[in-house]
């Protein structure tokens, strides 16, 4: 996961519309849109919650799924396990990385059989230390979302992964609201995560639009995860904060432009800067000067372009004699000045 290029993930999640052909075309579309990876979610409703109609299991967030029981939501949204092999194979054909978020040990075992190259720990699973330990033991890159995590939650998850001698860890700033208001994005935490935990960092974004991912890259995100849908007419729980192919393509384009704009931390001038420096200020003769005449503020001045002496020498030149006739418009040179050292 440690790459100079921002790693862009298209999150399929529930956007498969319970149709494997939609899921397959979503992978193809993600590749066309410029995503580096397509991410699935690997669970069954019974591996993530209980089929129990009590108040404890009723969603009351005011967002996606509000008023629905957890089991019913996950039953409708889950990606059938029998699809996984076909989808992983298709992604390989399309030359796009495919990986998943496992939600229990059996999901990890399935993904290991499919040679999943990366594991993602979802926000609500950051406290499932046994699951995190099992994932980390596979010694593959681990991405963690922090949508509802405290400092101690993040610290414990990271230390659990490192205890398994796995140091390829990425922490994503996330807000567990669907959709989440842009005012809750708090992307300044991205740099804080890097400083506090010495990990790779990024954003898992549930806001509408592409502002947050682009801004995140500008402040240091090296991984961007965004929900992706083939066509918004498919509907479903995640449609309100998902990007379609055109929107995702535009996001990728803007992220790559931001990467170019960020450049490198270096005082070395680029080719264009070197060209531009020719037009920076320098000392020029602004009035014809005779040999032996004294230099003054009336006959030399700092102007553009940069063919003459450095302006820092102006005061030391004033009052000295000219060694030769110099014409107006000539750049001032050392040879023009009596007893001047650069």
pLDDT band (50, 70, 90) for residue 341? low
Tell me the per-residue pLDDT of 305-330, one tens digit each, with 9 for 90 and over. Answer: 999 999 999 999 999 999 999 999 99
Q: What homologous superfamily does CATH list for 7-43+78-262?
A: Aldolase class I (3.20.20.70)
pLDDT band (50, 70, 90) for residue 237? confident
Residues contacting 330, CB < 8 A, separation 6+? 284, 285
Rounded Cα–Cα distance for residues 131 and 174 (Å):
20
Mean pLDDT of 275-302: 96
Rounded Cα–Cα distance for residues 177 and 123 (Å):
11
For residue 201, give the nearest of 211, 192, 209, 210 by alpha carbon. 192
Pairing of strands 282-285, 223-227: unpaired
Mean pLDDT of 82-107: 98
Q: Are 9 and 37 in contact (CB under 8 A)?
A: yes
Q: Are 295 and 326 in contact (CB under 8 A)?
A: no
Q: Look at residue 1 in the predicted model and tell me its pLDDT.
A: 62
Residues of the chain with CATH 3.20.20.70: 7-43+78-262
DSSP label at residue 177: S
Tell me the per-residue pLDDT of 247-261, one tens digit each, with 9 for 90 and over. Answer: 999 999 999 999 999
Asked if the model's pLDDT at residue 97 lies above 80, the reply is yes
Q: Look at residue 202 in the predicted model and tell me its pLDDT.
A: 98
Q: Look at residue 332 in the predicted model and tell me its pLDDT.
A: 97
pLDDT band (50, 70, 90) for residue 4? confident
Asked if the model's pLDDT at residue 342 lies above 60, the reply is no
Residues contacting 72, CB < 8 A, separation 6+? 45
pLDDT band (50, 70, 90) for residue 2? low
pLDDT band (50, 70, 90) for residue 336? very high
Tell me the per-residue pLDDT of 21-46, one tens digit each, with 9 for 90 and over. Answer: 999 999 999 999 999 999 999 999 99
In the three-class reduction of DSSP (H, G, I as helix; E, B as strand; rest coil), residue 87 is classed as: helix
Mean pLDDT of 105-123: 98
Q: Look at residue 231 in the predicted model and tell me its pLDDT.
A: 94
Residues linked to residue 201 through DSSP beta bridges, in sequence order: 171
For residue 41, give the nearest of 114, 115, 119, 134 by alpha carbon. 119
Residues of the chain with CATH 3.90.1210.10: 271-336
Could you tell me what percent of the chain has a pLDDT over 90? Answer: 89
DSSP label at residue 228: B
Q: Look at residue 339 in the predicted model and tell me its pLDDT.
A: 82
Burial 59-72 (b: 16+ CB within 10 A, else e): eeeebbbeebbbbb
Mean pLDDT of 274-297: 96
pLDDT band (50, 70, 90) for residue 337? very high
For residue 16, give the nearest of 227, 204, 175 by alpha carbon. 227
Q: Which CATH number fits domain 271-336: 3.20.20.100, 3.90.1210.10, 3.40.50.2300, 3.30.720.210?
A: 3.90.1210.10
Query: DSSP of 244-283, one letter per residue?
Result: -HHHHHHHHHHHHHHHHHH--S--SPPHHHHHHHTTS-EE
What's the whole-number average pLDDT of the chain?
Answer: 95
Tell me the per-residue pLDDT of 152-195, one tens digit each, with 9 for 90 and over. Answer: 999 999 999 999 999 999 999 999 888 999 999 999 999 999 99
pLDDT band (50, 70, 90) for residue 3? low
CA atoms within 13 A on the CB side of 209: 7
Give strand ranges (E) for the chain. 7-11, 37-42, 97-102, 119-121, 142-145, 169-174, 200-205, 223-227, 282-285, 300-303
In the three-class reduction of DSSP (H, G, I as helix; E, B as strand; rest coil), residue 342 is classed as: coil
Say whether the peptide bond before residue 151 is cis (omega within 30 degrees of 0): no
Mean pLDDT of 130-150: 97
Q: Could you tell me how many residues make up the chain?
A: 342
């Amino acid at each position: 996961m440690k790459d100079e290029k921002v790693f862009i993930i298209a999150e399929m999640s529930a956007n498969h519309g319970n149709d494997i052909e939609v899921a397959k075309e979503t992978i193809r579309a993600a590749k066309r849109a410029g995503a580096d990876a397509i991410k699935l979610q690997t669970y069954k409703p019974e591996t993530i919650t209980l089929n129990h109609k009590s108040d404890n299991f009723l969603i009351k967030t005011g967002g996606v799924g509000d008023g629905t029981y957890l089991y019913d939501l996950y039953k409708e949204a889950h990606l059938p396990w029998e699809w996984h092999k076909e989808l992983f194979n298709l992604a390989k054909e399309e030359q796009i990385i495919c990986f998943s978020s496992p939600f229990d040990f059996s999901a990890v075992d399935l993904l290991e059989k499919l040679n999943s190259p990366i594991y993602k720990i979802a926000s609500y699973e950051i406290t499932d230390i046994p699951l995190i330990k099992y994932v980390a033991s596979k010694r593959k890159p681990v991405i963690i979302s922090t949508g509802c995590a405290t400092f101690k939650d993040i610290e414990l998850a990271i230390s659990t992964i490192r205890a398994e001698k796995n140091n390829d860890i990425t922490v994503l700033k996330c807000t567990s609201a669907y959709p989440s208001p842009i005012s809750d994005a708090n992307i300044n935490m991205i740099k804080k995560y890097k400083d506090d935990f010495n990990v790779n960092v990024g954003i898992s974004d549930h806001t509408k639009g592409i502002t947050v991912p682009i801004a995140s890259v500008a402040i240091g995100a090296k991984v961007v995860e965004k929900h992706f849908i083939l066509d918004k007419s498919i509907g479903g729980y995640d449609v309100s904060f998902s990007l379609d192919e055109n929107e995702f393509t535009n996001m990728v384009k803007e992220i790559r432009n931001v990467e170019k704009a960020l450049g490198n931390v270096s005082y070395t001038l680029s080719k264009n800067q070197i060209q531009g420096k020719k037009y920076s200020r320098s000392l020029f003769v602004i009035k014809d000067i005779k040999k032996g005449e004294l230099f003054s503020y009336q006959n030399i001045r700092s102007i553009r372009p940069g063919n003459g002496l450095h302006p820092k020498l102006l005061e030391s030149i004033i009052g000295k004699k000219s060694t030769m006739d110099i014409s107006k418009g000539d750049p001032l040179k050392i040879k023009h000045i009596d007893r001047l050292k650069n």
